[in-house]
């Protein structure tokens, strides 16, 4: 009986059965430990791509694994449904964003169901639903009430293409472009809403309560950018105060001039009449300059003297005050004391404009001289030219001079952050309206909570310019002031969609709850998220915002009701939203090579493998192996393409454009190509490059289990890598083999003869070793080695099947165990085979196999005998061999004797755990 594995026949059937039986409904069960697994929710862009599969199916495998290990697992899914693409599609196709969005959601939900993932769809949350954004607005009001939201005119980043302002986090790269569309941003002076995320700077830089990847922690800490230093107040000649932030108060005596950002408010008053024209011109030029130009680090320093002076509080000296665009208004206090002797930028500036340089930190060696220094000295040393502080090590002086400044009433220790408050206003339609009303009499008036949600009107006209249609919707804008009843105007900006995604883990708990953003009973049981997974690209955006949100909600008292329902002994849920995080990598496009010349014919390589190399003119290549090597080496080392010729049947000569020639004698390359550069044509997938892998087509061709299995097997999950359309065949073979192994009739080996005990023990040993590898692998996100372990077990079973072991009860146990171990990774085939071998309940409700270290323990080991670290012999020995025995056997080996050549061993090292002996001569 051979019934071929046909995934299409079984997968939809099981998906329907699981849905019918409510297998993945997660319901509170206080008798079981909970596990809240969450993977980043998708934006409903239209179709699921392979990246979604790569992100979601391994997460699903781990959630299933947790479930089989006795956890009550919640693994929800939803859609981050507000956002610009919907609005752009609306403009382009004359289609309402809601229609576009919800149609996409319907399609993508269906595509996700084809993954066979255990998503609990009864908890689906969609951020564009009024019942969702009602609470997004409610949170805004809580922030407003608690002084965490404020409105301010500020110079903000504006994307001219998307026609909206952006948060600092959404401006990327050297050219400061819009994260969504790539257009360089411009600065605009606008009244906007901000959240006081900076209030939480220190807390956000503290990751001690969560288990997050080091990479994310580092990026977030850099983003918060805490620096410790001091505020020091100088006085101008007119007795105006001019306060600077510095991380080097120890160099105060070396401050020989000051620099203000061109936008600094004091510029107005400090500038002298004869300098005013020059200053005004410089300020105007600075405004005109793009951020890119201003931020270029290698730029020649520019600046203008204001004509004004300030007094260095340490030296009493009169020092000039300049303006220069290398000082930014947005960081610190927008003003610096310049210490040219000990700072790169100040040094360059001083040299250019002939300003005095005074060394105040002296390293060991020749005394520094400010007039002759050719570069600033940044390192450690002792203070000089610093009055009573002379001779103190600079590291101590930071504290001492700060204390002294404070005594003088001239400043204090201070901390500065790079983190900016979060700008959440967006001048676009498809987002959650900001629930604010402006009244001429009452000012800024929040919409009363019982009037939420502020609904987006449907009857809007989109213009090609992308301008917010709410601005042209009088009925939406004109409202009565909730306070005085008079004529008032509704805010037309909507909220940054990162606001919606900052709290979705809460809405999943009770997506239809209408008394609060979430049901405290659900929250008390499920929170916090135990395992979050998603891409690293959100490190300083979503992952920052959601942590801020949680802390802000805590301070607004939103978790109070939940806390009363929780065991106070449990760790708190209101400091951090997600206890653990794991970032998967990305799947890149399949590598493609171009044309090159082989055997004087033109050849084409669509891939890096020789298999698909063929001559355009139909001629034959040299041996495929040789060509294979050439292609590999070319792609590994060459920058530009080259000619490849065969000189005879086997040898290949490669000519690089610069006439370098090297030989490839049949197999392998000779040396001499080291200077060729690595070059591999691997790119991100994109429609325009035509290298997109469509998961639907793969599912249709191979089935969901194969796609899941391949995605987990072919890459390290945290790294991802280029797609390989041939590699998937390995997973196809694996599942075909498993299918045949479980279902096909077995020949009775030797009638009913009992299998030798040793063989049975060997089989069970392999099974238990696999249990351990799979358990550890799934726990630790090592999906690729997990699949490898399952393949090995299959290989072992295939071999055992030809022996009497296949008649032993241990065989059936092995099959059962293998299916249970496969269930999280390939849920459909596992379920089908589980049912076919006679089980009536779902394998996914089955208990995870228990690892028994005694069974897994090797009975015999191979002693590895090394001489001076080189393996010279292998000797079979019992696992419990004593050290003396092992050494004796090693020294008795004839191989050892041969290599010792009569020399006496100087030392014999025995490593018990590894069965290794090293004889040192």
Partner RNA sequence: GGGGACGUGGCGGAAUUGGCAGACGCGCAUGACUUAGGAUCAUGUGACGCAAGUCGUGGGGGUUCAAGUCCCCCCGUCCCCACCA
Burial class (CB in 10 A: 0-12, 13-18, 19+), 528: buried
Of 70-78, 622-630, 836-844, 879-887: span binding RNA (CB under 7 A): 622-630
* Between 489 and 772, CB nearer to RNA: 772
Answer for which of 668, 672, 756, 878 binds RNA (CB under 7 A) is: 668
Range 103-122, binding RNA (CB under 7 A): none
Task: Say whether residue 243 binds RNA (CB under 7 A).
Answer: no
Question: Minimal CA–CA distance to 40: which of 26, 18, 58, 22?
Answer: 58
Range 686-715, binding RNA (CB under 7 A): 713-715
Of 147-155, 211-219, 821-829, 878-886: span binding RNA (CB under 7 A): 211-219
Answer for which of 180, 351, 592, 716 binds RNA (CB under 7 A) is: 716
Answer for which of 463, 640, 753, 795 binds RNA (CB under 7 A) is: 795
Residues 532 and 39: their CA atoms lie apart, in Å, by 6
Rounded to a whole number of angstroms, the minimum distance from the CB of residue 320 to RNA is 17
Task: Say whether residue 246 binds RNA (CB under 7 A).
Answer: yes
Task: For residue 42, give the DSSP letter.
Answer: P
- Site size for RNA (CB under 7 A): 107
Task: Say whether residue 678 binds RNA (CB under 7 A).
Answer: yes
Task: Say whether residue 326 binds RNA (CB under 7 A).
Answer: yes
Say which residue the tokens 């992952």 belong to.
543
Range 266-325, binding RNA (CB under 7 A): 294-297, 299, 301-302, 325
Rounded to a whole number of angstroms, the minimum distance from the CB of residue 631 to RNA is 7
Burial class (CB in 10 A: 0-12, 13-18, 19+), 726: exposed
Answer for which of 365, 568, 869, 902 binds RNA (CB under 7 A) is: 869
* Between 747 and 869, CB nearer to RNA: 869
Range 354-383, binding RNA (CB under 7 A): none
Of 203-211, 426-434, 507-515, 664-672: span binding RNA (CB under 7 A): 664-672
* Between 329 and 597, CB nearer to RNA: 329
- Evaluate the CA torsion angle 615, 618, 619, 625 in order and state its sign: positive
* Contact pattern from residue 796 through residue 835 relative to RNA, giving x for each residue in contact according to CB under 7 A and a dash for the rest: --x-------------------------------------
Task: Say whether residue 854 binds RNA (CB under 7 A).
Answer: no
- Evaluate the CA torsion angle 463, 138, 574, 566 in order and state its sign: negative
- Evaluate the CA torsion angle 124, 126, 131, 135 in order and state its sign: positive
Task: Say whether residue 868 binds RNA (CB under 7 A).
Answer: yes
Cβ atoms within 10 Å, residue 511: 19
Answer for which of 181, 657, 874, 903 binds RNA (CB under 7 A) is: 874
Distance from chain centroid for Cα 406: 43
Do the beta carbons of residue 391 and residue 407 sit within 8 Å? no
Burial class (CB in 10 A: 0-12, 13-18, 19+), 38: buried
Task: Say whether residue 538 binds RNA (CB under 7 A).
Answer: no
Question: Minimal CA–CA distance to 286: which of 306, 257, 261, 268?
Answer: 261
Residues 415 and 229: their CA atoms lie apart, in Å, by 6
Give the bridge partners for 186, in sequence order. 158
Rounded to a whole number of angstroms, the minimum distance from the CB of residue 732 to RNA is 7
Residue 818 CB contacts under 8 Å (≥ 6 apart), including other chains: 738, 767, 770, 790, 793, 794, 797
Residues 164 and 895: their CA atoms lie apart, in Å, by 77
Residues 137 and 493: their CA atoms lie apart, in Å, by 12
Rounded to a whole number of angstroms, the minimum distance from the CB of residue 514 to RNA is 39
Answer for which of 332, 433, 466, 534 binds RNA (CB under 7 A) is: 332
Calculate the dihedral angle through the C-alpha atoms of 82, 84, 87, 92, rounding to the nearest 10 degrees.
-150
Task: Say whether residue 102 binds RNA (CB under 7 A).
Answer: no
Task: Say whether residue 331 binds RNA (CB under 7 A).
Answer: yes
Answer for which of 69, 227, 483, 803 binds RNA (CB under 7 A) is: 227
* Between 214 and 274, CB nearer to RNA: 214
* Between 336 and 755, CB nearer to RNA: 336
* Between 655 and 724, CB nearer to RNA: 724
Of 9-17, 193-201, 234-242, 788-796: span binding RNA (CB under 7 A): 788-796
Rounded to a whole number of angstroms, the minimum distance from the CB of residue 681 to RNA is 12
Residue 901 backbone class (left: φ over 0; alpha: ψ -120 to 50; beta: rest): left
Of 53-61, 203-211, 603-611, 690-698: span binding RNA (CB under 7 A): 603-611
Range 28-67, binding RNA (CB under 7 A): none
Apex CA 693: angle with CA 691 and CA 697, to 5°?
135
Task: Say whether residue 787 binds RNA (CB under 7 A).
Answer: yes
Rounded to a whole number of angstroms, the minimum distance from the CB of residue 683 to RNA is 11
Task: Say whether residue 99 binds RNA (CB under 7 A).
Answer: no
Answer for which of 44, 229, 511, 849 binds RNA (CB under 7 A) is: 229
Task: Say whether residue 173 binds RNA (CB under 7 A).
Answer: yes
Answer for which of 215, 412, 512, 595 binds RNA (CB under 7 A) is: 215
Residues 709 and 733: their CA atoms lie apart, in Å, by 11
Residue 770 CB contacts under 8 Å (≥ 6 apart), including other chains: 789, 790, 792, 793, 817, 818, 821
Residues 503 and 81: their CA atoms lie apart, in Å, by 14
Answer for which of 601, 632, 641, 801 binds RNA (CB under 7 A) is: 632
Answer for which of 12, 47, 385, 736 binds RNA (CB under 7 A) is: 736
Rounded to a whole number of angstroms, the minimum distance from the CB of residue 597 to RNA is 19
Do the beta carbons of residue 147 and residue 196 sit within 8 Å? yes
Question: Minimal CA–CA distance to 590: which of 699, 728, 725?
Answer: 725
Answer for which of 666, 759, 813, 856 binds RNA (CB under 7 A) is: 666
Task: Say whether residue 744 binds RNA (CB under 7 A).
Answer: no
* Between 310 and 523, CB nearer to RNA: 310
Rounded to a whole number of angstroms, the minimum distance from the CB of residue 707 to RNA is 14
Sheet hosting strand 907-911, strand order edge to edge: 870-878, 860-867, 916-920, 907-911
Answer for which of 6, 619, 647, 726 binds RNA (CB under 7 A) is: 726
* Between 463 and 726, CB nearer to RNA: 726
* Between 274 and 300, CB nearer to RNA: 300
Apex CA 510: angle with CA 506 and CA 516, to 5°?
75
HSE of 242 in the Cβ direction (CA atoms, 13 Å)?
A: 33
Burial class (CB in 10 A: 0-12, 13-18, 19+), 470: buried
Answer for which of 782, 804, 827, 849 binds RNA (CB under 7 A) is: 782
């Amino acid at each position: 009986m051979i019934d071929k594995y046909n995934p299409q026949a079984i997968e939809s059937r099981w998906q329907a059965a699981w849905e019918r039986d409510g297998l993945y409904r997660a319901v509170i069960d206080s008798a079981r430990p909970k596990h809240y697994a969450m993977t980043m929710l998708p934006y409903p862009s239209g179709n699921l791509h392979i990246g979604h599969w790569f992100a979601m199916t391994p997460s699903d495998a781990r959630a299933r694994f947790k479930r089989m290990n006795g956890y009550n697992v919640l693994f929800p899914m939803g859609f981050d449904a507000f956002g610009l693409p919907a609005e752009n599609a609306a403009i382009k196709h004359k289609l309402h964003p809601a229609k576009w969005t919800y149609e996409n959601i319907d399609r993508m939900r269906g595509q996700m169901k084809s993954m066979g993932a255990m998503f609990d769809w009864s908890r689906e949350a969609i951020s564009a639903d009024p019942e969702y954004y009602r609470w997004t607005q409610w949170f805004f009001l809580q922030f407003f009430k608690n002084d965490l939201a404020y409105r301010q005119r500020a110079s903000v980043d504006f994307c001219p293409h998307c026609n909206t302002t952006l948060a600092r986090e959404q401006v990327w790269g050297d050219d400061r472009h819009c994260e969504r569309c790539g257009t360089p941003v411009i600065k605009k002076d606008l009244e906007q809403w901000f959240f006081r995320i900076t209030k939480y700077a220190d807390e956000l830089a503290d990751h001690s309560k969560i288990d997050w990847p080091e990479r994310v922690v580092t990026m977030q800490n850099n983003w918060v950018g805490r620096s410790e230093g001091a505020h020091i107040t100088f006085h101008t000649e007119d007795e105006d105060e001019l306060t600077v932030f510095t991380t080097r108060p120890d160099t105060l005596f070396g401050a020989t001039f000051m620099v203000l950002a061109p936008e600094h408010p004091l510029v107005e008053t400090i500038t002298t009449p004869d300098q005013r024209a020059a200053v005004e011109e410089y300020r105007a030029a600075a405004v005109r300059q793009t951020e890119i130009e201003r931020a270029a680090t290698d730029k020649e320093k520019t600046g203008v003297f204001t004509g004004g002076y300030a007094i260095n509080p340490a030296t009493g000296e009169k020092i000039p005050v300049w303006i220069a665009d290398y000082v930014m208004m947005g960081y610190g206090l927008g003003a610096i004391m310049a210490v040219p002797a000990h700072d790169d930028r100040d040094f360059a500036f001083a040299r250019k404009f002939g300003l005095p340089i005074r060394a105040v930190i002296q390293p060991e060696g020749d005394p520094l001289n400010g007039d002759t220094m050719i570069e600033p000295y940044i390192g450690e040393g002792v203070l000089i030219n610093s009055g009573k502080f002379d001779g103190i090590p600079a590291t101590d002086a930071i504290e001492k001079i700060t204390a002294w400044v404070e005594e003088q009433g001239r400043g204090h220790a201070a901390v500065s952050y790079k983190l900016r408050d979060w700008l959440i206003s967006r001048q676009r339609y498809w987002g959650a309206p900001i629930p604010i009303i402006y009244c001429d009499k009452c000012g800024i008036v929040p919409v009363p909570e019982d009037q939420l949600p502020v609904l987006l009107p449907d009857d809007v006209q989109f213009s090609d310019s992308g301008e917010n249609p709410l601005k042209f919707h009088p009925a939406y804008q004109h409202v009565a002031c909730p306070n005085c009843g008079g004529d008032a105007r509704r805010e037309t900006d909507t909220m940054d969609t990162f606001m919606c995604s900052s709290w979705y883990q809460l809405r999943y708990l009770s997506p239809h709850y209408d008394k609060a953003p979430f049901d405290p009973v659900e929250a008390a049981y499920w929170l916090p998220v135990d395992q979050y997974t998603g891409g690293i690209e959100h490190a300083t955006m979503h992952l920052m915002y959601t942590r801020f949100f949680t802390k802000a909600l805590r301070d607004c008292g939103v978790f109070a009701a939940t806390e009363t329902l929780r065991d106070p002994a449990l760790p708190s849920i209101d400091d951090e939203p997600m206890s653990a995080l794991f970032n998967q990598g990305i799947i890149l496009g399949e590598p493609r090579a171009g044309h090159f010349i082989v055997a004087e014919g033109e050849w084409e390589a669509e891939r890096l493998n020789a298999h698909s190399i063929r001559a355009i003119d139909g001629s034959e290549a040299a041996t495929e192996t040789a060509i294979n090597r050439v292609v590999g080496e070319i792609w590994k080392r060459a920058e530009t393409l080259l000619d490849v010729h065969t000189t005879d049947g086997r040898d290949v000569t490669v000519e690089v454009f610069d006439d370098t020639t090297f030989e490839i004698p049949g197999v392998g390359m000779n040396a001499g190509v080291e200077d060729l550069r690595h070059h591999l044509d691997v790119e991100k997938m994109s429609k325009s490059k035509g290298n997109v892998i469509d998961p639907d087509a793969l599912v249709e061709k191979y089935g969901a289990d194969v796609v899941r299995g391949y995605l987990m097997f072919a890459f390290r999950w945290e790294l991802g890598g280029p797609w390989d359309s041939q590699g998937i065949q390995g997973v196809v073979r694996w599942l075909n083999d498993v299918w045949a192994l479980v279902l096909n009739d077995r020949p009775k080996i030797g009638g009913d003869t009992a299998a030798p005990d040793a063989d049975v023990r060997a089989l069970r040993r392999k099974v238990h070793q696999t249990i351990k590898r799979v358990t550890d692998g799934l726990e630790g996100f090592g999906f690729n080695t997990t699949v490898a372990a399952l393949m090995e077990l299959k290989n072992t079973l295939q071999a055992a099947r030809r022996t009497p072991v296949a008649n032993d009860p241990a065989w059936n146990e092995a099959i059962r165990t293998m299916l249970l171990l496969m269930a999280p990774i390939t849920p459909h085939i596992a379920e089908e085979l589980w049912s076919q071998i006679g089980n009536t309940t779902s394998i996914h409700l089955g208990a995870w196999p228990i690892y028994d270290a005694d069974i897994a323990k090797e009975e015999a080991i191979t002693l590895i005998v090394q001489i001076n670290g080189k393996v010279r012999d292998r000797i079979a020995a019992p696992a419990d061999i004593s050290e003396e025995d092992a050494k004796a056997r090693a020294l008795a080996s004839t191989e050892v004797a041969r290599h010792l050549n009569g020399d006496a061993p100087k030392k014999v090292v025995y490593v018990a755990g590894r069965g290794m002996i090293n004889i040192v001569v």
